[in-house]
């Protein structure tokens, strides 16, 4: 045994000690299944998974010591998500963590008994994942990301950055259960902002390119990319195509802006995945998911990419820059 491990065991100086001690006294190593919506090759997916692991470690759950984690990457593929959901259920974990709506949709029918904690899911009540936010009522609970009202903020942000925009394309994934709610909210806000909205159901790379190319054929257009695993996976393609046509666009997550997108407004996903570990911890310690209320996002961030704005010839208002959480030069 290494000296550092020996000191930890005899001194009880870390939060991991009580958990490790219980494992040695007969409870054994606890098992956590994880289903991520993104691809294993995606750096964003690894950042989210790392935040979840970090949250567990801060609570004393150390992989390889008192917890074993089985991780699967669905890569936006519905069939693969279902297959991996079945694998994780067969693994018989103490709890399963679902990263994003697509992962939870695959896991829900796979088990009604193993506790499931989710992150980054919109409207879990409307989607039928839980009975209510206050008392989920089954084996599922977690952290929801948006209220549909954020759709109006995306439209307002686009018009504030690019006032000349008169046509707005809403690009969404039809498989995402939350898309309809966002579309409805955004369309309700169009009369006051004097814009015409068109909706486009898109999933594959070629579809993103085709839709953006066709929309750009007429002037005074702008885009809003609705949140989905498919949009996140294809973000480089989307941002590049939008830049090719010099279209102003607003995105739902920071990672789009750091990839070259004009502006983003949305939840801090890394914070949400880290917070989700607290519910996994509580369930491992005996709490029932049916009685753990679904929590809403607490950290939102607005990011403006000034380099992209200059390339588009867009003058970002100083008042908007002052409100931004991050400005990319």
- The pLDDT mean for the chain works out to 91
∠ at Cα 261 (258, 267), nearest 5°? 65
pLDDT of residue 27: 55
Confidence of residue 203 (pLDDT cuts 50, 70, 90): confident
Average pLDDT over residues 54-64: 96
91 with 168, same domain: the answer is no
- pLDDT beyond 70 at 16: no
Residues in Cβ contact with 139 at an 8 Å cutoff, skipping those fewer than 6 apart: 111, 112, 113, 114, 115, 116, 289, 290
| CA atoms within a 13 Å half-sphere pointing along the CA-CB vector of 242 | 30
207 with 313, same domain: the answer is yes
- pLDDT beyond 70 at 87: yes
185 with 316, same domain: the answer is yes
Confidence of residue 3 (pLDDT cuts 50, 70, 90): very low
165 with 232, same domain: the answer is yes
β-sheet with 140-144: strand ranges across = 67-73, 30-36, 95-99, 116-121, 140-144, 295-296
19 with 104, same domain: the answer is yes
Tokens of 150: 């954020």
127 with 188, same domain: the answer is no
Q: Which of 4-8, 203-207, 319-323 has the lowest mean pLDDT?
A: 4-8
Within 10 angstroms of residue 299's Cβ, the number of other Cβ atoms is 12
Within 10 angstroms of residue 199's Cβ, the number of other Cβ atoms is 16
What phi, psi does 274 have (nearest 5°)?
A: -65, -40
211 with 263, same domain: the answer is yes
- Whether pTM > 0.75 for this model: the answer is yes
- pLDDT beyond 50 at 22: no
293 with 251, same domain: the answer is no
47 with 154, same domain: the answer is no
Gyration radius (Cα) of the chain, Å: 22
Residues in Cβ contact with 138 at an 8 Å cutoff, skipping those fewer than 6 apart: 112, 130, 131, 289, 290
pLDDT of residue 8: 37
CATH code for the domain in which residue 62 is found: 3.40.50.2300
pLDDT digits (tens, 9 = 90+) for 237-251: 999 999 999 999 999
Residues paired with residue 141 on neighbouring β-strands, in sequence order:
117
pLDDT digits (tens, 9 = 90+) for 129-187: 999 999 999 999 999 998 899 999 999 999 999 999 999 999 999 988 889 999 999 99
pLDDT of residue 14: 32
68 with 103, same domain: the answer is yes
29 with 175, same domain: the answer is no
Write down how long the chain is: 329
Residues paired with residue 64 on neighbouring β-strands, in sequence order:
none
257 with 274, same domain: the answer is no
pLDDT of residue 20: 36
Q: Which of 16-30, 169-183, 189-203, 292-306 has the lowest mean pLDDT?
A: 16-30
The percentage of the chain sitting over the pLDDT mark of 70, rounded to a whole number, equals 92
**Number of folded domains that form the chain:** 2
What phi, psi does 22 have (nearest 5°)?
A: -65, -40
Average pLDDT over residues 79-92: 97
How far apart are alpha carbons 185 and 152 in whole angstroms?
6
Q: For tokens 């999933």, what's the residue? A: 203
- pLDDT beyond 70 at 10: no
- pLDDT beyond 80 at 15: no
Residue ranges making up the domain that contains 118: 3-147+268-299
pLDDT of residue 13: 34
């Amino acid at each position: 045994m290494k000296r550092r491990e020996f000191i930890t065991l005899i001194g009880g100086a870390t939060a991991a000690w009580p958990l490790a001690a219980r494992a040695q006294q007969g409870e054994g190593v606890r098992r956590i299944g994880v289903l991520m919506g993104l691809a294993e090759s995606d750096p964003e997916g690894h950042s989210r998974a790392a935040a979840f692991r970090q949250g567990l470690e801060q609570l004393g759950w150390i992989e390889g010591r008192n917890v074993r984690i089985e991780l699967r990457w669905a890569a936006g593929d519905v069939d693969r998500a279902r297959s991996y959901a079945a694998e994780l259920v067969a693994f018989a974990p103490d709890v399963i963590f679902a990263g994003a709506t697509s992962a939870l949709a695959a896991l829900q029918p796979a088990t009604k008994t193993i506790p499931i904690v989710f992150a980054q899911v919109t409207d879990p009540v409307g989607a039928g994942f839980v009975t209510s936010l206050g008392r989920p009522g089954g084996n599922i609970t977690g952290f929801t990301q948006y209220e549909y009202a954020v759709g109006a903020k995306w439209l307002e942000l686009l018009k504030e950055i690019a006032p000349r925009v008169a046509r707005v394309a809403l690009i969404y994934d039809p498989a995402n259960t939350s898309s309809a709610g966002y579309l409805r909210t955004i369309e309700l806000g169009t009369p006051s902002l004097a814009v015409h909205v068109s909706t486009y159901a898109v999933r594959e790379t070629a579809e993103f390119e085709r839709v953006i190319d066709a929309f750009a054929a007429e002037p005074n257009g702008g885009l809003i990319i609705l949140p989905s695993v498919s949009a996140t996976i294809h973000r480089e393609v989307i941002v590049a195509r939008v830049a090719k046509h010099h279209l102003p666009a607003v995105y739902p997550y920071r990672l789009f802006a750091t990839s070259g997108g004009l502006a983003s407004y949305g939840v801090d996903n890394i914070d949400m995945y880290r917070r989700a570990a607290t519910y996994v911890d509580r369930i491992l310690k005996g709490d029932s998911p049916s009685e753990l209320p679904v929590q809403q996002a607490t950290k939102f961030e607005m990011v403006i990419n000034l380099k992209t704005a200059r390339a588009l010839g867009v003058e970002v208002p100083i008042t908007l820059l002052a409100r931004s959480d991050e400005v990319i030069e």
